[in-house]
Chain A
Amino acid sequence: MNWRIILFGLLIVAQVAVPLRMIQHHETVLREGELFRFKTEPIDPVDPFQGRYVWLRIKDDFVPMSEAAADAIDYKTTGYALLNLDEQGFAKFSDWSSERPTQTTNYLKTKSRGQAVNWEQLADGTRTRVHKGLGIDISFTRFYMDEAKAPRAERLAREATRNEDCWVEVRIFNGKAVIEDVIAEGQSLRDLASIEE
């Protein structure tokens, strides 16, 4: 009986330690991380365990680099995307490093997704392929919301996206990112979705 109690005790410790580690890890990022704003387009899907959320498609989900350089990086290679701000104050990925940066904490640990390309329509109606850089995995794509508010929030955010007025505020610290809020039409998406009630 004793060994069972000891093992059960160890199991409880493990079962509590895993969620606690997750909490501690994300609280650190929220407390010490720098705030970045990413332009986004939200969509509203459902997760059976975690509930309804607004799925955020980050507009600039690539690191600018030449086609040859992007091709040289294998698909799903782990690396670090360095962050910078554009003239409007929005975050943009500026560089890719295979080693963890030591000079700054403003970088995202991620994986490469091959070439990021855009299909642009020309004046004669044809479409042309424009290389943008190296596509990367974005780890902050879910913003969980009240099940009643999420669909409305998605609709409001979509309208705001048309006016380039929707972004996600993310705290980033040592490669890890945690969403703080999603802003549409100048206010929190949660507040915006509540107003219409």
Chain B
Amino acid sequence: MRKIPEKYRQWLLQELPILEDTGILSAESRQPLEDYYSNQVESRAHWAAIACAVLGTLLIGGGIILLFAHNWENLSRIARTGLSFCPLAIGVALSALAICRGGTGLCETAGIFHSLAVGACIALIGQTYHLPSNTPDFLLVWALLILPLIFMLPSTGAYLFYITLICSWSGAAQNEYGQALGFWLLLIPAVVHVIRLIRHEAPSELLSLWGLMLMLPIALGIVLERTVPGLWIVGYASFLSLSGLLGLRLFPTKSGWRNPLQTVGVAGITVLAYIFTWQNVWHDIGWSNTRHYGNYQEWGIWCDSVITLGLALAWALTAVKARQRNSLPTLILCSFPLLASAGFFFAASSGGELINALLFNAYMLGLGLAYLTQGCRNTQLRQVNYGMAVLGLLLITRFFDSDFGFLARGLAFILMGSCFLVTNLIMARKKHQLGGAQS
């Protein structure tokens, strides 16, 4: 059933008699419209009410955890153990009610409270029995026990809890066990959930996608073993470009916060390009500098290579399909991993740190100029601002960057400034000539 805001529905129903009176609609045409919008269309959920319900649940759930964390010593062990199950029982009751009745607000409330209650129950039993802190186990058990709620209720709150937990687990597991490969298995249900939402064009699709796209770059950095220094350069470049290309492909008419895939991809690439303008990023990288000490796993060479290769292949396939789209973001997203990979292999084989840094300085300059030009041409203020921000960041950084000599920096700044002034002069003269010809 389609969902529209209640106020639009009310407005349309009020308009129909007026349209009929003015003769725009006949009585025969008006009736089906009135029937459709009165009976067939379900009012869309009220987001303010849902937000209040979610916040209320979070606060109550958090408050219950804090109350228990006070540690009521006067209560016996049995009484405290029994009390530990109370939040879980309330969570179960809420979820059961949500499954029976449905409704976004109730499902979200139940999902969030139930998710908190599961963690609280395990933590409180740990408190009662003075259990040591085994963070990865605690997070893993918590995540697995709330996973079904994402699909059963369904609840975006439970989903956001789940992805936060698996991201935290990857960090704790990497610290405790020296590897967090299980993250990729734990990620599958979250991706399935998001794909399902995109297919059904569900209202919670945007929030779920944002959650996933903010979590994945963090988790990728944690899960990579970093046994081969610098391989992350290729991995991250491929991942962010893949994200941006998928955003362009799946949501071609949306941009900014309405297209998290594209926004995270393009913004991530800009940040990466900026990081690559520093020489020390390219220092001592590649297979000849493989790490075999401390927490670095030997099999990390294969693991990181497989992950990077997988991301690069996925990017390549998407890039091949996207190359017909002749737009600036497509061009940037298709070219960046090629350039980053070339930089990685060049630095790994011959240590060309300075050349790579210069290359990415030029790339970032080109990126800023391209956005600035396109923004001016299409009169799009967002693109102009983006181009100016990129150029500003690059120029300010390089002005204070002591890696390059004063003479080199001075000459480069004067040269670039002269280019801008000459361009300005040429454009002004052309405009003047055009004005003269028209008059």
Contact = CB atoms under 8 A, between A and B. Distances in A.
Contact of A142 (B84, B124, B132): B132
Interface of B is mostly: helix
B223 interface: no
A102 interface: no
Given A19-B84, A51-B71, A7 B152 contact: yes
Contacts of B133: 47, 142
Contacts of B130: 53, 140, 142-144, 178-179
Interface residues of A, number: 36
Contacts of A139: 132
A19 B152 contact: no
Interface in B131-167: 131-133, 141, 145, 148-149, 152
Tell me which of A4, A76, A144, A146 has the highest count of chain B C-beta atoms within 10 A of its own C-beta.
A144
A144 B148 contact: no
Contact of A140 (B88, B119, B125, B132): B132
Interface in B59-91: 65, 68-73, 81, 84-85, 88
Interface in A10-44: 11-12, 14-16, 18-19, 22-23, 26
A147 interface: yes
A105 interface: no
Contact of A76 (B84, B122, B141, B178): B178
Contacts of B129: 22-23, 26, 178-179
Nearest to B96: A8
Contact of A8 (B71, B72, B99): B99
A142 B131 contact: yes
Given A51-B71, A52-B71, A146-B73, A7 B148 contact: yes
9 contacts: A15-B118, A16-B88, A19-B122, A48-B65, A50-B126, A51-B68, A140-B132, A141-B132, A178-B130
Interface of A: 4-5, 7-8, 11-12, 14-16, 18-19, 22-23, 26, 47-53, 76, 138-147, 149, 178-179, 190
